């Protein structure tokens, strides 16, 4: 397995220069395009890592998986999906036009920004401070490690430049989709996206999903089986933005990407995987990460299809 991961990193480095780091969030411009890492956590707790797999990065949209799991644990499937659909969009993750024209009554799915903001608003807690504490505590439970935090500089950078997300949030407020204090929900969402982690942390979460809710290190059930299965399904259809269909064909692993460069993958019954590479393609997915996932899937015959 270690040799396979070394080959993954080699392949990732060959394509990393072809993309660009995220620039619409100024702090993310500081990312190093040459960084490439991968980690695997199997269901028995065996861990493998290669490249910069312990380097911390902001999880960005990978936190949509964490928030969705927590909202499902808090409110249940029926309540959560009263507020958001489960359908892929075929449009960019921050599209306003498709939301307003095609489906204005509620966001298409929890993996686009509008849907993620609604999901975050459903998490239990009276204030944004209470909610972010609960999100961080849940993240600590999933990754099996205390000390979770968010990057203050990235959070403030996102808050200063997040006008598209504000537009989405206030559109949803105007139609009655967004309940609660819109500015507080936005602030919480920016904090959530700025949560820090590394490939080992995210591969561990992938292993939990792969085992339908059992933690690979403690063997305790940490999420309900039905919630793990539901989230994996949404990841498969919607987790790679408007490249989700292409990724399903080329790789076939339930996955969720983030513009910080990470990709969370969960191979049912096998292992969790995380790739990292901040050099992105035009759709906001890690170029190195996709190539590593494709190689790994073909090498080990991992496609769920």
Is 139 among the catalytic positions?
no
Residue 92, pLDDT > 60, answer: no
**Considering just the CA atoms, what is the radius of gyration of the chain in Å?**
18
Range from 136-145, 193-202, 236-245 carrying the lowest mean pLDDT: 236-245
More confident residue, 102 or 12: 12
Domains 2-60+197-300 and 61-193 share a fold: yes
**pTM, 2 dp:** 0.94
Determine which one of 154, 241, 256, 267 is catalytic: 241
Q: Quick one: average pLDDT of 59-78?
A: 97
Per-residue model confidence (pLDDT) at position 102 = 58
Range from 22-31, 137-146, 217-226 carrying the lowest mean pLDDT: 22-31
Determine which one of 61, 211, 279, 297 is catalytic: 61
Cβ count near 26 (within 10 Å): 15
Residue extents of the structural domains in the chain: 2-60+197-300, 61-193
- Mean pLDDT, the chain, whole residue set: 94
In the CATH scheme, what is the homologous superfamily, with its name and number, of domain 2-60+197-300? DD-peptidase/beta-lactamase superfamily (3.40.710.10)
Determine which one of 80, 234, 259, 273 is catalytic: 259
Residues above pLDDT 90, as percent of the chain: 86
> Can you point out the beta strands (E) in the chain?
37-42, 47-51, 57-58, 196-197, 255-257, 262-267, 271-276
Is 170 among the catalytic positions?
no
- The answer to whether residues 40 and 295 touch, using CB atoms and an 8 Å cutoff, is no
Per-residue model confidence (pLDDT) at position 91 = 57
Return the CATH fold of 61-193. Beta-lactamase (3.40.710)
Determine which one of 13, 33, 64, 106 is catalytic: 64
In tens, the pLDDT along 133-178 reads: 999 999 999 999 999 999 999 999 999 999 999 999 998 998 888 8
Is 64 among the catalytic positions?
yes
Is 295 among the catalytic positions?
no
Per-residue model confidence (pLDDT) at position 81 = 94
Residue 88, pLDDT > 90, answer: no
Residue 85, pLDDT > 90, answer: no
Is 13 among the catalytic positions?
no
């Amino acid at each position: 397995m270690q040799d396979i991961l070394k080959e993954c990193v080699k392949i990732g480095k060959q394509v990393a220069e072809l993309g660009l780091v995220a620039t619409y969030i100024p702090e993310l411009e500081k990312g190093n395009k040459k960084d490439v890492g991968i980690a695997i956590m199997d269901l028995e707790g065996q861990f493998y890592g290669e490249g910069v797999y312990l380097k911390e990065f902001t999880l960005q949209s990978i936190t949509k998986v964490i928030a969705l799991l927590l909202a499902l644990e808090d409110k249940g499937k029926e309540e959560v999906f009263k507020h958001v659909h489960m359908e892929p969009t075929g449009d960019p993750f921050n599209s306003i036009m498709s939301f307003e024209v095609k489906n204005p009554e509620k966001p298409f799915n929890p993996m686009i920004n509008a849907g993620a903001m609604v999901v975050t608003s459903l998490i239990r807690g009276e204030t944004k401070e209470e909610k972010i504490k609960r999100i961080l505590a849940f993240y600590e439970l999933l990754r099996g490690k205390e000390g979770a935090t968010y990057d203050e500089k990235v959070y403030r950078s996102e808050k200063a430049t997040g006008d598209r997300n504000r537009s989405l949030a206030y559109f949803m407020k105007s139609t009655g989709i967004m309940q609660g204090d819109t500015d507080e929900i936005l602030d919480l969402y920016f904090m959530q996206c700025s949560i820090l982690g590394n490939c080992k942390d995210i591969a561990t979460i992938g292993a939990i999903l792969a085992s339908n809710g059992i933690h690979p290190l403690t063997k305790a059930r940490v999420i309900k089986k039905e919630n793990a299965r539901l989230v994996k399904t949404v990841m498969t259809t919607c987790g790679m933005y408007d490249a989700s269909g292409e990724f399903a064909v080329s790789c076939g692993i339930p996955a969720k990407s983030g513009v910080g460069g990470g990709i969370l993958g969960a191979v049912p019954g096998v292992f969790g995987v995380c790739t990292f590479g901040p050099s992105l393609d035009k759709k906001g997915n890690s170029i190195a990460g996709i190539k590593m996932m494709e190689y790994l899937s073909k090498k080990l015959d991992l496609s769920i299809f």
